[in-house]
Amino acid sequence: MASFKCMGFTRKFESRAAQPPTDVRDAFAGYAGRAAHMSADQLRRFLVEEQGESAATVADAEWIVKALRSRHRSSVPAHPGIGFDDFFHYLFSDDLNPSIGSQVHQDMNCPLSHYYIYTSHNSYLTGNQLSSDCSDVPIINALRRGVRVIELDMWPNSTKDNVDILHGRTLTSPVEMIKCLRSIKEFAFHSSPYPVVITLEDHLTPDLQAKVAEMVIQTFGDILYYPESDSLDELHSPEALKNRVIISTKPPKEYLESKKGGKGSNDEACKTDVADLKALSISDDKDKHEQNADDQDEEESDDDDVDDDGVRRNAAPEYRHIITIHAGKPKGSLRQALKVDPCKVRRLSLSEEQLEKAAESHGPDLVRFTQKNILRVYPKGTRFNSSNYNPLLGWIHGAQMVAFNMQGHGKSLWLMQGLFRANGGCGYVKKPDYMMNIGPNGEVFNPEASLPVKTTLKVKIYMGDGWSMDFEQTHFDAYSPPDFYAKIKLVGAPADTQKKKTKIIKDDWTPLWDEEFSFPLTLPELALLRIEVREYDMSAKDAFAGQTCLPIWELKQGIRTVPLYDRKGKRYRSVRLLMRFRFV
């Protein structure tokens, strides 16, 4: 127990041990009976019946018992089972009793278009979009966190003889491209063996394009994948591209024009359509300044094929050869932009504002496009402070690459981090089956359709612990222990989005809320549970005390440990919640 003296009086800072909630005591008594210890077989029954682990064996339970025994100083416990304190420790241990799995468990043999892919925007920036440094450090950090798509904006250096990475037409300082490529190679598979996609924004001359091709080939060697043919009719799977790097960018215009009506299939459906491959620009109503800002952020610019003197450039064949996923931006009608070519795949890029407008009038067309092709969504150009947007609109319309400013922070980024905790955190999450289905009359999933409730998630938040170990005694309140409460929000389809809040627990480092909330769900496969703990302050803004975001479809049933993270998504060492999840 610590104390704090101020102006002649003393307030106590009590740091007592966490007290188990009633449900935990009842669970132990229900399976151990009147005995003081629970056997391995009784623990197995608890795992099967209460925790939903139907495949749990006695051997699994014995492994847990052995792990719990290792906590004791005595090498030979007095009883072969586990006591109540061990049982409570087990339930409140993220290592032994996590809320979501840590292994890849989804089918990884479908085309890349069937997956949401962890995607970063302007991956090289250390801070804001206008004046921060460019560096390979943010790229390394992103890859360590499981990001699978890295964006590089390529510009000629000051002497026009090499390639720099920077946010063009801003005050950002450059970093050499070769440094970024070498760091990508070193850290590409640090957290996941599944493919890394490098999206290139190209502002180079043919000579420098050829230099880029040489750098890419020499840096990545055998781990670089590119197709033998000019374009793919179907994307490969994450499993087939394990430990490989692939390039996505806009092919040079002359190359596309030379293909039109030239060599290739005689089938009219397979002839190259320049407008389709260039991919179209949706006109919108934003003012000229904002449009210019957005243009800086797009992966491809209108004048990529023209040099400073307005002279049309010839394409570098080596550069064309390394491009696996052909990209483009929209130019023309929206319906034409979303046209699906049965004989080739491509990537289309839309700003968050363009996506909003497309979703209003062409929701099913977006879904149909993304069943075969890649849709990338990027932040609008006025997000100078590296903020982000709600990713759910992109995901519910099938967008695989919802690109985020990973150097930022905030609730939108928490959602992104939450989705990609799924499937073992490998950076690829399979889209729901209904996103890929095609009906007998060609119909696809309609994001605007009114749907019935599929299931109801019951969330019980018991308690929290660990703040007294991770924070100074006076961090939240200079005179007394903190007053914690929790906000619980279900984020998903509009019909599913709702929020709840617990009561405030006064003066307690280990708050016991013991409250349950119900969340009816129409699309549980696209729902995320966002939890934020705050410390109540009647005279100032409530203090942040931790957050997490969990994919609903990955939640393990029963009483589970939920670790909390700081504002940027770094996990706290000790802070965690004890919760229960049930689907009814």
**Are 463 and 513 a contacting pair, CB within 8 Å?**
yes
Task: Respond yes or no: is residue 121 known to be catalytic.
Answer: yes
Q: 22-91: what fold? A: Recoverin; domain 1 (1.10.238)
CATH architecture, range 112-436: Alpha-Beta Barrel (3.20)
Backbone angles phi, psi at 128, to 5 degrees: -75, 170
Active-site choice (37, 89, 114, 121): 121
DSSP letters, 479-516, are: SS---EEEEEEEESSTTT-EEEEPPPBPS-SS-EEEEE
Active-site choice (37, 89, 114, 167): 167
Long-range contacts of 210-218 (CB under 8 A, 24+ apart): 210/316, 210/318, 210/319, 211/162, 211/163, 212/154, 212/163, 212/177, 212/319, 213/316, 213/318, 213/319, 213/321, 213/322, 214/318, 215/163, 215/177, 215/178, 215/181, 216/181, 216/247, 216/322, 217/318, 217/322
Cα separation, 396 vs 242, whole angstroms: 27
Among the listed residues 509, 498, 520, 495, the one whose alpha carbon sits nearest the alpha carbon of residue 576:
509
Q: What is the CATH number of domain 452-583?
A: 2.60.40.150
Backbone angles phi, psi at 396, to 5 degrees: -70, -15
Q: What pLDDT does residue 253 have?
A: 67
398: left (phi over 0), alpha (psi -120 to 50) or beta: left
Total-model pTM:
0.88
Using the 8-state DSSP alphabet, how is residue 221 labeled?
Answer: G
Residues of the chain with pLDDT under 70: 1-16, 73-78, 253-313, 315
Q: What pLDDT does residue 315 have?
A: 59
Cα separation, 225 vs 237, whole angstroms: 12
Cα-based distances in Å from 328 to 156, 280, 339, 419: 21, 7, 13, 27
Cα-based distances in Å from 46 to 40, 136, 296, 524: 10, 48, 57, 26
Q: Tell me the angle at which helices 177-187 and 137-144 cross, rounded to the nearest 10 degrees.
A: 20
**Are 407 and 136 a contacting pair, CB within 8 Å?**
no
Q: What pLDDT does residue 232 have?
A: 87
Reduced to 3 states (helix: H, G, I; strand: E, B; else coil), residue 356 is helix
Helix/strand/coil percentages in the chain, nearest 5? 30, 25, 45
Q: Residue type for 363, please? A: G
Task: Respond yes or no: is residue 203 known to be catalytic.
Answer: no
> What is the SS3 assignment for 277-334?
HHCCECCCCCCHHHHHHHHHHCCCCCCCCECCCCCECCCCHHHHHCEEEEEECCECCH
β-bridge partners, 6: 9
Cα separation, 206 vs 538, whole angstroms: 63
Indicate the domain borders of the chain.
Answer: 22-91, 112-436, 452-583
Angle at 560 between CA 142 and CA 97, to 5 degrees: 75
Q: What pLDDT does residue 33 have?
A: 92
Q: Tell me the angle at which helices 177-187 and 206-220 cross, rounded to the nearest 10 degrees.
A: 30
Reduced to 3 states (helix: H, G, I; strand: E, B; else coil), residue 452 is coil
